[in-house]
Amino acid sequence: MEPMVIWNLVLTALVGILGFFLKEKFTEIKRLDILLNKTREELAREYVPKAELNRLSDHIDQRFNRIEAKIDQLIQKAVNA
């Protein structure tokens, strides 16, 4: 065989092997991207955004403040009576 033919076969084999590995890596990256997106969706379903949590906390605090004020009024009435 001529050296040029051997060299072409070696280069063809290397390019083929490199192409195979690149295809596998891109397939794996695509799979991981899909899994990451699913994870983000699940996190959004299970956890509350910080703004929503702050809004709920403020609402609960206002309710407790009203209850505390009513208890203070009852105690004041009991002391004055």
Domain assignments of the chain as residue spans, ordered by start: 1-47, 49-81
Which residue type sits at 55?
A: R
pTM: 0.51
DSSP conformation class of 4? H
Q: What is the mean pLDDT of residues 34-61?
A: 89
Q: What is the DSSP string of 24-78?
A: HHHHHHHHHHHHHHHHHHHHHHHS--HHHHHHHHHHHHHHHHHHHHHHHHHHHHH
Q: Residue 67 pLDDT > 80, yes or no?
A: yes
The better pLDDT of the pair 61, 79 is held by: 61
DSSP conformation class of 1? -
